[in-house]
Amino acid sequence: MDQTIRVNPTMMGGDPNRTQMAQPTVMGGFPQAAPGGPSLALNVKVSNRYAFAGDRTRAHVLTQISAGGAGGFVPGGKRLPVNVCLVIDRSGSMDGSPIQYVKKACEHVVDLLTPDDVLSIVTFEESVEVLMPARRVTDPNLIKQHIQRIVAGTTTNLFDGLYAGGSQVASVPMAGYVTRVLLLTDGEPTAGLKDFQSIVQQVADLKARGITVTALGFGPEYNEELMAGIARRSGGNYYYIERPEQIPEVFQKEMLTILGVTAKNIRLTLTLPRGVTVRQCYGSPPELGARHAAISLPDIERGATVTKLWEVDYDPHAVATFRTAKVILSWDDGATGQRETLTANAVVEFTGDAARVPSGADPLVSQELNAMQAARDLEKTMMGMRTQQLNLADLTAALNKTQQMFTQQGNTEAAKTVQMAAQAAQRGDTGGAEKTLIGTIYSLDLGKRS
């Protein structure tokens, strides 16, 4: 049931007609933002348009946020300026081809930027060096000369490097910029702050200052839980880079995503009537109040759709049609330059006839619930692999089953990464399998579809 349904305001003690209703055009099941208008569109679905009035009911609300336009960055097209810091691990293990590919990747980044953008470069080993302070990209050749000065050192002071990068981004007034720290490392922290929880907690401080961190883990030795934790806490992306020659490709992919951002500082809030309670939002623990639940979402680029699934409980209701939640989406819009807001309603008919309920199920919401449950199954599979409670045959069977489910749902990216994890496990590379699975789980929890 979509957001265009209106209910009698006397039923819920409020007037839904007093709010601005989202009116997207629906294409292929997903709404698209109208050309020339706000960048985002909002759609809301309930797991079942019916609920039995006499019982307490567990249900789900699916919120879909879509950004119009072609996917990602279009060269030469209008976009928001970016303020990016490259934070590069140059510890001894990066010596040789990894450092050379890193230099190539950094030069690709420079080629994508314009004088409207701000770039800084920080490198770390035992000590931290601000190779280039935050400055506009007015002299690409000079910046590339700085990049060529990167040489391998000794140990890995990841935290101090990360925080120095955040300070460079924060040194420029952030209004109007898409901000990002790109952190690349190939190892565990061996100098400076090393504790996982402490590092991740400090990343929350960067997020509070408006700074997002994309975590890029390279090779077999880095701590995938730490890197995924950094990305999760700050709202950034996470990548596992298996081979040195993949570094430039992944850097370019992430930069094109950043350059395509059309909405930032995104807030999604459910306001609730009496008798409706939010239990959880899958992948995004919500801030819960007496009559509302809210989450913040990462930046969204053109062509992307973000789906978030909420689990709710309904108390017994009178037999009638009720608005069970009002969904409010707000964001800073790159197209209009304004703070924009859309609202939509989740509407349910409470019936005294229990036999009607099965006919009201929404298959798209059911599919999203299956994907969230698959993410939890992948966590169990990964733990079984880590503790050696699963033998290779059982592990392969579990991963193949999950891959088939994603294939049937049309989630080709998740299916591909699960297949990669299964192949890594079969050749004895359990570390690579874990790193791949953590990335898959994190992507599912983000809910982003391109």
125 found inside a domain: yes
254, 173: one domain: yes
58, 42: one domain: yes
Residue labelled with tokens 């929880």:
197
Beta bridge pairs of residue 333: 263
1 found inside a domain: no
444 found inside a domain: yes
Give the residue among 301, 269, 295 at the shortest CA–CA distance from 40.
Answer: 301
Share of the chain above pLDDT 70, in %: 89
Q: Using CA atoms, how far apart are residues 412 and 354, in angstroms rounded to an integer? A: 37
Q: Using CA atoms, how far apart are residues 295 and 281, in angstroms rounded to an integer? A: 8
164, 95: one domain: yes
Q: Is 292 left (phi over 0), alpha (psi -120 to 50) or beta?
A: beta
Q: Using CA atoms, how far apart are residues 228 and 208, in angstroms rounded to an integer? A: 18
Q: State residue 167's pLDDT score.
A: 93
Cut 0.95: pTM above it: no
Write the single-letter amino acid at 202.
Q
Q: State residue 362's pLDDT score.
A: 96
2 found inside a domain: no
369, 400: one domain: yes
Rg of the chain over Cα atoms, rounded to whole angstroms, equals: 23
Let me know: does 254 contact 214? Beta carbons within 8 Å.
yes
The pLDDT tens digits for 15-62 are: 332 333 333 332 223 333 444 567 899 999 999 999 999 999 999 999
Beta bridge pairs of residue 295: 268
328, 272: one domain: yes
Give the residue among 272, 262, 214, 268 at the shortest CA–CA distance from 241.
Answer: 214
**29 by DSSP, 3-state: which?**
coil
214, 236: one domain: yes
CA 25 to chain centre: 24
Q: Using CA atoms, how far apart are residues 182 and 256, in angstroms rounded to an integer? A: 13
**For residue 114, what is the domain's CATH number?**
3.40.50.410
> Which stretches of the chain drop beneath a pLDDT of 70?
1-37, 69-77, 450
Q: State residue 249's pLDDT score.
A: 92
Last residue of a domain, one of 242, 259, 276: 259
Alpha helices in 113-195 (DSSP H): 140-147, 158-170
**For residue 57, what is the domain's CATH number?**
2.60.40.3670
422 found inside a domain: yes
Q: Using CA atoms, how far apart are residues 415 and 223, in angstroms rounded to an integer? A: 24
130, 250: one domain: yes
178 found inside a domain: yes
Give the domain range for residue 156: 82-259
Last residue of a domain, one of 235, 259, 283: 259
281, 232: one domain: no
Residue labelled with tokens 């009002």:
326
4 found inside a domain: no
What CA–CA distances, in Å, run from 188 to 93, 201, 309, 347? 11, 17, 34, 49
3 found inside a domain: no
Residue labelled with tokens 């004895």:
428
User: What is the domain count for the chain?
Assistant: 3
339 burial level (CB within 10 Å; 0-12, 13-18, 19+):
exposed
197, 107: one domain: yes
Take residue 413 and report the two structure tokens written for it: 């990216």
370, 351: one domain: no
Q: State residue 394's pLDDT score.
A: 85
357, 284: one domain: yes
287, 341: one domain: yes
Let me know: does 374 contact 444? Beta carbons within 8 Å.
yes
Last residue of a domain, one of 361, 386, 415: 361
The pLDDT tens digits for 73-114 are: 656 667 889 999 999 988 888 888 889 999 999 999 999 999
Q: State residue 77's pLDDT score.
A: 64
